[in-house]
Amino acid sequence: MDDVFENIKVGQTDEFVHEITEKDIDGFCELTGDDNPLHMDDTYAADTNFKERVVHGMLTASFISTMIGTRLPGKGSLWYEQHIKFLTPVRIGDKIRIWAKVVHKSESQRIIVLQTMIYNQFDKTVIEGEAKVKVLERRKKENEKGINKLENMDQTKGAIIISGASSGIGAATAITLAKRGYAVVVNYRSNEKDALSLVEEIESFGGRSFCTKADITNKEEVELMVSAALNKYDVIEGIVNNASAPINYRSFEEISWDDFQLHLNVQIKGSFNLCKAVMAHFVENKKGSIVNISSVYADNVPPVKMMHYSLAKSALVSFTRSLAVEHGPLGIRVNCVSPGMTNTDMIADIPEKSKMIAKMTTPLRQLAEPEDVANTVAFLISDDSRHITGETIRVCGGQVMI
């Protein structure tokens, strides 16, 4: 796949023309609710200095989005900042020319700065400004990398149960472990569609997997899931406690104990239930590996409005250490993986500027991908880490160093 960012040059320009119609104005009014009579009522507009209806300023400016998303830079562009000066009114029937020029390109941040101009049919400036655009880098799927089927896969390894595995870090971990020969039990609570799709993907390259619905905060549902895994694969070699509750950002004044309880239920009660259900099997085999997905916020300065999330992750680290001490003599290892900010759906709503700040304050100057976390989990599950227990490995690009 071509990288749009690589092809962009400083000084590059592009432009296109659009004729403003009454349909444009009606559509914008319906979408935004801005029914200001200056834009919508001929009689009202005739009694003003403009004499006739004026097009919404932001309707005109919206064509900058068309430029950015479809032409310059093009696909994968995220428009995150714009400075605008409205200089000349636009009316129905005007032909506006949208023009942009690349004035700066940041290789490290994949940011393009554009000079943005809109002119009318008389070449009079309607809008002038500057846009900042982040050109996203699309992660390649394995089949795009030329990997379709893994030959001679070791099919003798036991099963790994992954909670909350239908997307993000959980899904990446499932794929990584499946490629290393483990049978993977994909747990989900509500996202059946993605869970089934993940199983299909794993089976497409010769892996073994099935998905099972279970609310990990429900002891009986967890026990049924573990029984199903044992019936299908005979041996469970490890579990990954990955499930996490949605983060509702709340200040201390806004937060309630229910917010804390939600995260404690998923992170601690859920992990407890799954560990409890599998432990007798591990003890019988004198072997088992448990990996809990925590967060760097558990041992770093926590972000504001995430007290409930940070507290639950900190408790999970403590749970990990206590379990490791008690069950180490029985051949069972328990460790944590603590990601920093990672490119998953969980951070999709975080402002792009915040993501860039996090990236630039990280020594490796990049955010983690789910596969980075998954590879670390796979190491801790495997015998390659047979003398590691009670540890926390941070996958954060050096953001935290202890």
> Each residue of 232-257: pLDDT tens digit?
999 999 999 999 998 888 999 999 99
pLDDT given at position 145: 45
**Alpha-carbon distances of 362 from 15, 309, 397, rounded to whole Å:** 37, 22, 6
Distance between first and last Cα of the chain: 39
- Look at the alpha carbons of 230, 232, 238, 241 in this order and tell me if their dihedral is positive or negative: negative
What lies within 8 Å, CB to CB, of 402 at 6+ separation is 299, 394
Q: How far apart are CA 62 and CA 30, in angstroms?
A: 15
CA 158 from centroid of its chain's CA atoms: 30
Q: How far apart are CA 176 and CA 182, in angstroms?
A: 9
Q: How many CB atoms lie within 10 A of CB 212?
A: 18
Contact 302, 284 (CB under 8 A): no
- Look at the alpha carbons of 59, 60, 61, 65 in this order and tell me if their dihedral is positive or negative: positive
Q: What is the DSSP letter of 154?
A: -
Active site residue 297: no
CATH topology of domain 4-135: Thiol Ester Dehydrase; Chain A (3.10.129)
Domain range summary for the chain, segments of one domain joined by +: 4-135, 156-395
Place of tokens 């926390």: 392
Per-residue pLDDT tens listing for the chain (402 residues)? 467 888 899 999 999 999 999 999 999 999 999 999 999 999 999 999 999 999 999 999 999 999 999 999 998 898 989 999 999 999 999 999 999 999 998 886 788 999 999 999 999 999 999 999 988 876 655 444 444 455 556 677 999 999 999 999 999 999 999 999 999 999 999 999 999 999 999 999 999 999 999 999 999 999 999 999 999 999 999 999 999 998 888 999 999 999 999 999 999 999 999 999 999 999 999 999 999 999 988 888 787 888 999 999 999 999 999 999 999 999 999 999 999 888 777 666 666 777 777 778 888 888 888 999 999 999 999 999 999 999 999 998 888 888
Contact 15, 68 (CB under 8 A): no
DSSP secondary structure, 169-183, as one string: HHHHHHHHHHHTT-E
Q: Helices 168-179 and 370-381: crossing angle, nearest 10°?
A: 50
Q: How far apart are CA 96 and CA 55, in angstroms?
A: 12
Q: What is the CATH number of domain 156-395?
A: 3.40.50.720
Q: How far apart are CA 90 and CA 105, in angstroms?
A: 31
Copy the structure tokens of residue 311: 């507290």
Q: How far apart are CA 272 and CA 278, in angstroms?
A: 10
Catalytic residue selected from 182, 188, 233, 309: 309
Contact 344, 169 (CB under 8 A): yes
Polymer length in residues for the chain: 402
Query: 15 - beta bridge partners?
Result: 99
pLDDT given at position 1: 43
